[in-house]
Amino acid sequence: MSSPVDTSPGTGSGPTRKLPTRRGTELLMLAFATVIITFALMLVDANQGQELTLSIVWYGLSYLGVFTVAHVAVRYFAPYADPLILPCVALLNGIGLVMIYRIDLASAERAAQQDIAFTPDAPRQVVWTVIALALFLAVLVLIKDHRTLTRYAYTCGLLGFFALALPGLLPASVSEVNGAKVWVRIGPLGLQPGEFAKILLLIFFAAFLVSKRDLFMSAGKRVLGIEWPRPRDLGPIVLATGAALAIFVLLKDLGQALLLFGMVLMLIYVATERAIWIFVGLVPFAAGCVIAYNLFTHVQQRTRNWLDPLATYDEPGGGYQNAQALFGLGTGGVAGTGLGAGRPEMVPLSKTDFIAAAIGEEIGFIGLASVLMVYLILAMRGMRGALAVRDTFGKLLGGGLAFAITMQVFVVVGGVTSLIPMTGMTAPFLSYGGSSLLANYILVALLLRISDAARRPQQGGRPRGEQQKTPLSDTGTVLVERPS
Partner 1 sequence: MNTPLRRVGIAMLAMIVLVLAHATYIQVFKADEYRADQRNQRVLLDEYSRERGQIVSQFDGQVLAHGEPTSGRLQYLRRYSEGPMYAPVTGYYSWRYGSAGLERARNDILSGNDARLFVRRLSDMITGRDPRGGHVQVTIDPNVQRTAYETMTDRDFTGAVVALKPDTGEILGMVSTPSYDPNALATHDGEAQEEAWTAMSEDPSKPMSNRAIRETYAPGSTFKLVTTAAALEDGATPDTEVTSASSITLPNTQTQLQNFGGQTCPGSTLEDALAYSCNTAFAELAGELGASTLRSTAENFGIGKSDLDIPMRVAMSSVGQLSDEASLYQSGIGQRDVRLTPLQVAQLAATVANDGTAMRPQLVKSLLAPDLSTISDYSDDELTGEPALSEENAEILRDMMIESEENTAGGGKRDDLTIASKTGTAEHGADPKNTPPHAWYTAFAPADDPEVAVAVLVESGGDRGLAATGGSVAAEIGRMTIDSALRGQSE
Query: Is position 2 an interface residue for partner 1 (rule: CB under 8 A)?
Result: yes
Task: Give the residue, chosen from 331, 457, 463, 470, that forms a contact with partner 1 under the rule CB under 8 A.
Answer: 331
Task: Give the residue, chosen from 117, 186, 189, 334, that forms a contact with partner 1 under the rule CB under 8 A.
Answer: 334
How far is 379 from 401, CA to CA, in rounded Å?
Answer: 8
Name the strand (E) or helix (H) holding 341: none
Task: Give the residue, chosen from 269, 280, 289, 348, that forms a contact with partner 1 under the rule CB under 8 A.
Answer: 269
Q: How many CB atoms lie within 10 A of CB 23?
A: 18
Residue 181 CB burial class (10 angstroms; 0-12, 13-18, ≥19): middle
How far is 74 from 81, CA to CA, in rounded Å?
Answer: 7
Residues in Cβ contact with 125 at an 8 Å cutoff, skipping those fewer than 6 apart: 96, 97, 100, 432, 437
Cβ-based nearer residue to partner 1, 362 or 452? 362
Residue whose C-alpha is closest to residue 204's, from 259, 174, 270, 159: 159
Task: Give the residue, chosen from 369, 475, 479, 480, that forms a contact with partner 1 under the rule CB under 8 A.
Answer: 369
Query: Is position 364 an interface residue for partner 1 (rule: CB under 8 A)?
Result: yes
How far is 54 from 215, CA to CA, in rounded Å?
Answer: 63
Radius of gyration, CA atoms only, the chain: 23
Query: Is position 346 an interface residue for partner 1 (rule: CB under 8 A)?
Result: yes
Cβ-based nearer residue to partner 1, 135 or 372? 372
Give the total of residues touching partner 1 (CB under 8 A): 58
Minimum gap (Å) between residue 4 Cβ and partner 1: 9
Minimum gap (Å) between residue 144 Cβ and partner 1: 24
The site map against partner 1 for 182-201 (x = CB under 8 A) is --------------------
Minimum gap (Å) between residue 311 Cβ and partner 1: 12
Compute the half-sphere exposure of residue 165: CA atoms within 13 Å on the CB side of its CA. 12
Whether 280 and 241 have beta carbons less than 8 Å apart is answered as no
Task: Give the residue, chosen from 160, 328, 340, 434, that forms a contact with partner 1 under the rule CB under 8 A.
Answer: 328
Query: Is position 470 an interface residue for partner 1 (rule: CB under 8 A)?
Result: no
Minimum gap (Å) between residue 29 Cβ and partner 1: 20
Cβ-based nearer residue to partner 1, 67 or 208? 208
Applying the rule CB under 8 A, the residues between 375 and 434 that interact with partner 1 are 375-376, 379-380, 383, 386-387, 392, 395-396, 399, 402-403, 406-407, 409-410, 413-414, 417-419
How far is 300 from 304, CA to CA, in rounded Å?
Answer: 6
Residues in Cβ contact with 61 at an 8 Å cutoff, skipping those fewer than 6 apart: 34
Query: Is position 138 an interface residue for partner 1 (rule: CB under 8 A)?
Result: no
Task: Give the residue, chosen from 44, 95, 182, 271, that forms a contact with partner 1 under the rule CB under 8 A.
Answer: 271
Residue whose C-alpha is closest to residue 184's, from 198, 202, 171, 197: 171
Cβ-based nearer residue to partner 1, 2 or 13? 2
Name the strand (E) or helix (H) holding 186: strand 184-186
Whether 211 and 157 have beta carbons less than 8 Å apart is answered as no
How far is 68 from 130, CA to CA, in rounded Å?
Answer: 12
Residue whose C-alpha is closest to residue 255's, from 192, 209, 312, 207: 192
Cβ-based nearer residue to partner 1, 364 or 433? 364
Cβ-based nearer residue to partner 1, 64 or 405? 405
Q: If you ran DSSP here, which 8-state letter would residue 177 be given?
A: B
Minimum gap (Å) between residue 80 Cβ and partner 1: 19
- The piece of 27-35, 173-181, 328-336, 427-435 that touches partner 1 (CB under 8 A) is 328-336
Query: Is position 24 an interface residue for partner 1 (rule: CB under 8 A)?
Result: no
Applying the rule CB under 8 A, the residues between 92 and 131 that interact with partner 1 are 109-110, 113
Minimum gap (Å) between residue 374 Cβ and partner 1: 11
Q: What is the dihedral of CA 366, 361, 194, 153, to 10 degrees?
A: 10
Q: Is 184 strand, coil or helix?
A: strand
- The piece of 10-18, 86-94, 238-246, 374-382 that touches partner 1 (CB under 8 A) is 374-382
Cβ-based nearer residue to partner 1, 192 or 418? 418
Dihedrals phi, psi of 215, to nearest 5 degrees: -65, -45
Task: Give the residue, chosen from 310, 348, 466, 467, that forms a contact with partner 1 under the rule CB under 8 A.
Answer: 310
Dihedrals phi, psi of 180, to nearest 5 degrees: -100, 120
Where does this chain bind partner 1 (CB under 8 A)?
1-2, 5, 109-110, 113, 266, 269-271, 273, 275, 310, 313, 323, 326-334, 342-343, 346, 360, 364-365, 368-369, 372-373, 375-376, 379-380, 383, 386-387, 392, 395-396, 399, 402-403, 406-407, 409-410, 413-414, 417-419, 473, 476
